[in-house]
Amino acid sequence: MLTCVAKAPAKVILIGEHWVVHGSRAIAAAVSVYARAVGRPVESGIIVSSRELGLTEDITKCRHLCNLWRSAQYIASIVSRSPWPASIRIESDIPVGAGMGSSAAVAVVFSACYALLGGVKPSVELVLRAAYEAEKVVHGNPSGIDNTVSALGGFIVYRRGEKPRRLENIELRDTRLLIIDTGVPRSTKTAVERFSKRLVELRDLGRELLSLMDRIVDRAIEALQEGSATRFGLLLDLSHGLLNSMGVSHESLEEAIHISRREGAYGAKLTGAGMGGVAIALVPRDRVARVREALTSRGYRVLETDLGVKGYSVTSIQDHP
Ligand code: MEV
């Protein structure tokens, strides 16, 4: 029997969240926290089981997982066929609702396996677009950054409405990225509204900040290309300062960031929408244990990740009964 196995990474926005909504660029990267899918053919239905949601359903009935049904329909339409039956089990280690693109990574692994089981080549282009269809069901009008980073992997420079650019050969030696979950719930919509309101109130200064952010992104790209964790860390700190002054930080984010810097991080900032959620800290490898311990002793959940990992992979295994 044909079995399909797929894996896709989560993403974090390194620099440029919020500003990206208003036209400047963001840099995002794939991190080593993964969603996985294992699929096999069945006689009827498209049966998806999700370990995290604790459910199994035939997605053609479009109950909870309408997003994945949309991906399946999209893939079938590309090859002018009706959707074919399949059974796909999904597991994900990516925190949900933390701005790390968990729904996009799940859609990527589902799409890759579903295509493969139907005899369709799971090319990057196909998987990326099929996952975007799923993201539209979940998020309405998403920028597309999450499915792009999960599919392509690496470091991506992103501007709304433009083709994403992948930065090649980036290596920040002897560093780890810590992802710090504050556990504080937040609403992306509220944060985006608060930020946008301040930006408008700042009038000409708001416009200047937007172009300043574009220059910070340029400097950040240079720092990455030079492999300078010190300079990149400085720019993470600077970006956080601006986000804080735009009203989208939170006491718990400030504490986590402060602890990370105090214990030796190159730089730390909120990532994603802010007002709770998740922070990131770029940490020299020999300081990781120390930073991690200081954070966990204050009750923060910490994920230690590699930055810029490769995008989705999918393989098929032919078992002979
Ligand atoms: C949320 O993860 C990132 C924001 O920039 C919103 C967006 O880009 O759609 C705050």
Q: What CATH topology corresponds to 175-305? A: Alpha-Beta Plaits (3.30.70)
Distance 17 CA to ligand 1 centre (A): 5
Q: What is the largest CA-CA distance in the chain?
A: 70
Q: How many CB atoms lie within 10 A of CB 179?
A: 23
Position in ligand 1 atom list of the atom nearest CA 271: 2
Cross-strand partners of 292: none
Residue-level pLDDT at 141: 75
Q: What is the pLDDT of residues 160-217, one digit of tens each?
A: 889 899 999 999 999 999 999 999 988 888 999 999 999 999 999 999 999 999 999 9
Report the atom number in ligand 1 closest to the C-alpha of 274: 10
pLDDT digits (tens, 9 = 90+) for 212-261: 999 999 999 999 999 999 999 999 999 999 999 999 999 999 999 999 99
Mutate to test the pocket of ligand 1, among 12, 21, 242 (most ligand atoms within 8 A of CB): 21
The pocket around ligand 1, CB under 6 angstroms, is made up of 13, 17-18, 20-21, 99, 143, 188, 192, 272-273
The average pLDDT across 272-300 equals 97
- Ligand 1 atom nearest to CA at 19: 5
Q: Do 260 and 81 form a contact (C-beta atoms < 8 A)?
A: no
Q: What does the DSSP assignment read for 208-267? A: HHHHHHHHHHHHHHHHHHHT-HHHHHHHHHHHHHHHHHTT---HHHHHHHHHHHHTT-SE
The residue nearest atom 3 of ligand 1, judged by CA position, is: 272
| pTM for the whole structure | 0.92
pLDDT band at residue 320 using 50, 70 and 90 as cut-offs: low
Residue nearest atom 9 of ligand 1, based on CA coordinates:
143
Least confident of 100-114, 132-146, 283-297: 132-146
Say how many Å lie between the CA of residue 277 and the centre of ligand 1.
12
3-state secondary structure (DSSP) of residue 214: helix
Provide the pairing of β-strand 86-92 with 301-305. Answer: unpaired
Q: Is the separation of the CB atoms in 10 and 145 below 8 Å?
A: no
Fold of the CATH domain 2-168+309-318: Ribosomal Protein S5; domain 2 (3.30.230)
Whether the predicted pLDDT of 121 surpasses 80: yes
Domain ranges of the chain: 2-168+309-318, 175-305
Determine the pLDDT at residue 151.
97
For atom 2 of ligand 1, which residue has the closest CA?
272
Q: Which of 67-71, 107-111, 135-139, 288-292 has the lowest mean pLDDT?
A: 135-139
- Catalytic residue positions? 146
For residue 203, the SS3 value is coil
